[in-house]
Amino acid sequence: MRDVIVNRTPVELFKILKFEGLAGSGAEAKAVIAEGQVTVNGQVETQKRKKIVAGDVIEFAGQTLRVVVAAS
């Protein structure tokens, strides 16, 4: 599992996949989410704009990501 450090939450799910390089574009990220290939906290997530907050765990393509807010 690797940490994804964000400046603020919530962050939309598709943006995390895009910025972490798990999807080549926002459109690709939205497509894999809609197809049910992504889980959030162990549940299949199909909402492309699902709001992700600190502590959420995302799984996709064999990768596990935990969202962490950067210390200010």
Q: Which domain holds residue 38?
A: 2-69
> What are the tens digits of pLDDT across the range 40-56?
999 999 999 999 999 99
pLDDT value of position 72: 64
| CATH number of the domain that residue 6 is part of | 3.10.290.10
Residues whose CB falls within 8 Å of the CB of residue 41, separated by 6 or more in sequence, listed in order: 56, 57
The structural domain count of the chain equals 1
Single-letter amino acid, residue 15: K
Q: C-alpha 26: how far from its chain's center?
A: 12
pLDDT along the chain (72 residues), means of 10: 93 96 96 97 96 97 95 71
Q: Which two tokens stand for residue 51?
A: 């709001």
